[in-house]
Amino acid sequence: MSRPQQPQTPAWWFNGAAPPLWAALIAPVYAAVVALRRWMYRRGWCKQHHPGVPVIVVGNLVAGGSGKTPLVIALVQHLQKAGFVPGVASRGYGRAEPKTARWVEAGMDPIYTGDEPLLIATMTGAKVRVDRDRVAAASALVSQGCNVIVCDDGLQHYRLARDIEIEVQDVRRRYGNGRMLPAGPLREPLERAADCAFRVVNCGVAVEAKASGLGEWAMHLAVGRVRALSGGRELSLQKFADQRVHAVAGIGEPERFFGMLREHGIGVVPHAFPDHYAYAAEDFDLGSPLPVLMTEKDAVKCASFAQPNWYSVPIDAQLPEAFWDELIGRLASST
């Protein structure tokens, strides 16, 4: 059967090649629109709305995946441990009926919630609201007793006023060629990063702290176990060392997941799907009965038809304690 293809990131964004003429011509127009919109919010011509409790926005300046979801999950869990009642506002990208606002709870159909909001709700137990209107989502969360709002992927959603912004970068890609869309990966100009209180650099599973520079916080993704989609049994990831597995990833950067498995000595047969892909059972006619390892984001969409040898690979975002101390300190000063 023919398989869906992972959309390709334009090569010129990250390989140093010159962008095509059409992209170079469009980029200044895009940049002008972005600048005008931001200027209108700064002048007060476009109104911002604050929900009355602190708002933390997690996002990035570049298009594509950078590791925001693991950070959001870790952030919510740390806020809960610190005594806050966080709620998560998300657009719920790729969900059916996107105009309908919904509460998201573990066990719901990801078709209607979006994969990332469902994963966040499942992993944290926090209130999660999906709504194209981030202001309305924040208000709904406050009405349910949340005293901190975490906005998943919202740097460019200026209508929702915020107290703390966290920019997330991928250590390998950074800002690419530094150009605006579509000539480069930037959603906003580089100087926008200076407005963010924190810059978190996703260093993947590497353990070297040197990947993070001055003013940056290194985030490492800790792995070590797998969880069966059927029944929830946990095994050590090392059980699959020196074995071949089907590795399934429908995320922004599938190679990040495949590379992580290879670093653990696992023989990867890669299967990259488009980000936010809606899986069906027939997508797993993979040609051989090898075990299947997939990201947690994919697993929440496959649980209803999972086979006994399908496993998700949980990832824990780890940052220095000093990061959490500074974040909680800033949050306390904004209340």
How would residue 107 be classed by pLDDT, with cut points 50, 70 and 90?
confident
CATH number for the domain harbouring residue 115: 3.40.50
* First vs last C-alpha separation in the chain: 55
Q: What 3-state class would DSSP assign to 135?
A: helix
Q: Are the C-beta atoms of 276 and 90 separated by less than 8 Å?
A: no
Domain that holds residue 246: 224-314
190 lies in the same domain as 242: no
Bridge partners of 103, per DSSP, are 129
Place of tokens 């992580």: 260
Q: Is the pLDDT of residue 209 over 50?
A: no
Bridge partners of 149, per DSSP, are 55, 87
How would residue 306 be classed by pLDDT, with cut points 50, 70 and 90?
confident
How far is residue 3 CA from its own chain's centroid?
A: 24
142 lies in the same domain as 165: yes
Task: Work out how many domains the chain is built from and give that number.
Answer: 2
**Cβ burial, residue 299 (10 Å; 0-12/13-18/19+):** buried
The Cα-based distances of 85 to 82, 113, 130, 163 in angstroms read 9, 21, 18, 16
Q: Is the pLDDT of residue 171 over 60?
A: yes
287 lies in the same domain as 156: no
290 lies in the same domain as 143: no
Secondary structure E strands in the chain? 55-59, 86-90, 102-104, 127-130, 148-152, 164-170, 198-202, 217-222, 225-228, 234-236, 244-249, 267-272, 292-295, 310-313, 316-318
pTM beyond 0.85: yes
Q: Other CB atoms closer than 10 Å to residue 320's CB: what's the count?
A: 14
Q: What is the mean pLDDT of the chain?
A: 88
- Smallest CA-to-CA distance from 128 within 111, 149, 97 is with 149
Q: What 3-state class would DSSP assign to 326?
A: helix
Q: Is the pLDDT of residue 207 over 50?
A: no
322 lies in the same domain as 310: no
Q: Is residue 23 part of a domain?
A: no
165 lies in the same domain as 232: no
Average pLDDT over residues 64-82: 90
Q: Is the pLDDT of residue 6 over 60?
A: no
Q: Other CB atoms closer than 10 Å to residue 232's CB: what's the count?
A: 9
324 lies in the same domain as 183: yes
Q: Is the pLDDT of residue 205 over 70?
A: no
Bridge partners of 310, per DSSP, are 292
55 lies in the same domain as 203: yes
Pick the range with the lowest mean pLDDT from 129-138, 241-250, 270-279, 309-318: 270-279
Average pLDDT over residues 178-185: 91
Name which residue leads in pLDDT, 156 or 146: 146
Q: How are strands ordered across the β-sheet holding 198-202?
A: 102-104, 127-130, 86-90, 148-152, 55-59, 164-170, 198-202, 217-222, 316-318
Q: Are the C-beta atoms of 298 and 250 separated by less than 8 Å?
A: yes
Percent of the chain residues past pLDDT 90, beyond the cut: 51
What secondary structure letter does DSSP report for 87? E
161 lies in the same domain as 277: no
pLDDT value at position 291? 93
Q: Is residue 35 part of a domain?
A: no
pLDDT value at position 213? 52
pLDDT value at position 286? 85
Is the dihedral angle over the CA atoms 160, 252, 245, 208 positive or is it negative? negative
Cβ partners under 8 Å of residue 121, min gap 6: 88, 104, 105, 106, 108, 113, 128
